[in-house]
Structure 1
Amino acid sequence: MFKYILFTIITLIVLIGIYLLSERILSRISVNDTGNSEPKNITMYVMSNGVHTDLVLPTKTVFIDWSTLFSFENTLGKKNDFKYIAIGWGDKGFYLNTPEWKDLKASTAFVAATGIGETALHVTYYNNIQLDESTKSIQITDTQYQNLIKYIENSIELGSDSKPQLIETTAQYGQNDAFYEAHRSYSIFFTCNSWTNDALKTAGIKASKWVAFDKGILYQHSAK
């Protein structure tokens, strides 16, 4: 029994080590790193809270008014004059039941890691974006932005009325955010940061080969 337990522990340590090393290497490999002749007219941001990344976009452009999809009325504050919208994707249980790491339950972590739970989009409105080590500015083309819009729209789980499904909850993080039902499954191989990175890759914006954590995405858009 002791040998079996020891073998299991060693195997887990090795697998975790391989996972972390692979993530470290692949997250530092760039994709879409070639020049683009189109003018870069739009400023977007990638914002991290230290664990989770969001795509931060202009609320209104000629291509889309995000407030028509994610209504200001669905926030607690119901203000309607925000310049930016931050959109993130992740495990629904984490979003709604784990406001802080101290609130994390083993059952929530298991469901998220195995990909058997539901997912959600977390939408937050801002008026000002402060650049720092956890928030990076990215200049993109009109075509890249339109590709980004399609990626996000494809992540939304629409209701019978063909509109995003608001998640009725008291788990908001502030006065200006809301949660919506989303497509895809969360797992250790496709995390909230994988979703952000895939959004950039799909849109033709510089990104990592693969990430699980936020540091790789921020690395790609840090001054070299």
Structure 2
Amino acid sequence: MRGRLLKGLRWTGLGLLGLVAVFALAGWIGSSIPRNSAWVEPVAGEERSIEIMIGNNGIHTEIAMPIVTPEMDWRATFPANDITASSRPYTHVAVSWGERAFFLETPTWYDLSLTTVLNAMTGGEGVLHVAHYVRPAPSDDYRVLRLRPDEYRALVEAISASLTDPEMREVLPGYGAYDVFYSARGTYHIGNTCNQWTSDTLAAAGVTIGAWSPFAGGVMKWVPDLPEG
């Protein structure tokens, strides 16, 4: 009896590992299939462009944008009064999307539970995470991407469409003094992750990006590395 139980557990474990491997392979393949393959990033100095930044912590990606440009003033949508440290001279807002319980109940990775992960994978309510930054510096994990004005307007439209209507919008405390959460549209699940939201949002702007990008690496492999020197 004990032998059959151990054998069953072993096969179950192997089956789970197999599913993880298949999902990882599917994510790699899906993120390698390009959307907007003809897009070319504008060359700095040759035509007007807006510099955004794509951030990556290894698991999660975000889109950082200037707070004010001729195309969009984010101060009305994401007012600094919604965060604790509201008086700093912020220059950028960084926006990302994710599952409500996962975001709100895991301020650190130590707070992550299997129940939260499973619930998020099977379907959860979306929220936007918005962080305010002062002159974020480009790095290997925070790469610059240039958009033409019409492309940036399309990006703005896609991000704005993720928010719930103002009269129904919840403003929820962030992790620290500089960030905040807003209730958002969309359902998070294993096929529609935070990184897929980043991918879809960039695709809406016309940027070359993978078709299905559940992992951060699937997004970042399309964003040019920081130039050397």
TM-score (norm 2): 0.87
Q: CA shift at 1:32, angstroms?
A: 1.8
Matched residue, 1:29? 33
Hey, what's the Cα distance between the residues in 1 that align with 2:120 and 2:17?
A: 20
Structure 2 residue identity aligned to 1:183 = R
Unaligned runs of 5+ in 2: none
- Answer yes or no: is the 8 Å Cα contact 1:40–1:139 preserved in 2: no
Choose which of 141, 152, 160 in structure 2 pairs with 1:145: 152
Same amino acid, percent of matched pairs:
29
Hey, what's the Cα distance between the residues in 2 that align with 1:130 and 1:216?
A: 22
Q: CA shift at 1:190, angstroms?
A: 0.9
Label 1:34 to 1:119 Cα distance change in 2 as closer, same or farther (>3 A).
same
Hey, what's the Cα distance between the residues in 2 that align with 1:40 and 1:26?
A: 32
Matched residue, 2:13? 9
- Report matched runs for 1:1-224 at 5 Å: 2=5, 4-35=8-39, 39-79=47-87, 81-115=89-123, 117-159=124-166, 161=167, 164-167=169-172, 169=173, 172-223=174-225
3-state SS of 1:136 partner: strand
Hey, what's the Cα distance between the residues in 1 that align with 2:58 and 2:23?
A: 20
Task: Give the superposed CA RMSD.
Answer: 2.1
- Answer yes or no: is the 8 Å Cα contact 2:65–2:93 preserved in 1: yes
3-state SS of 2:188 partner: coil
TM-score (norm 1): 0.89
Structure 2 residue identity aligned to 1:200 = L
Q: CA shift at 1:40, angstroms?
A: 4.8
Label 1:142 to 1:153 Cα distance change in 2 as closer, same or farther (>3 A).
same
Hey, what's the Cα distance between the residues in 2 that align with 1:28 and 1:142?
A: 27
Q: CA shift at 1:131, angstroms?
A: 1.5
> What are the superposed Cα offsets for residues 129-155 of structure 1, whole Å, 9 maximum, x if unpaired?
221111111111111111111111111
Unaligned runs of 5+ in 1: none
Count, aligned residues:
218
> What are the superposed Cα offsets for residues 86-145 of structure 1, whole Å, 9 maximum, x if unpaired?
001001112111111111122211111111x22210111111122111111111111111
* Larger-Rg structure: 2
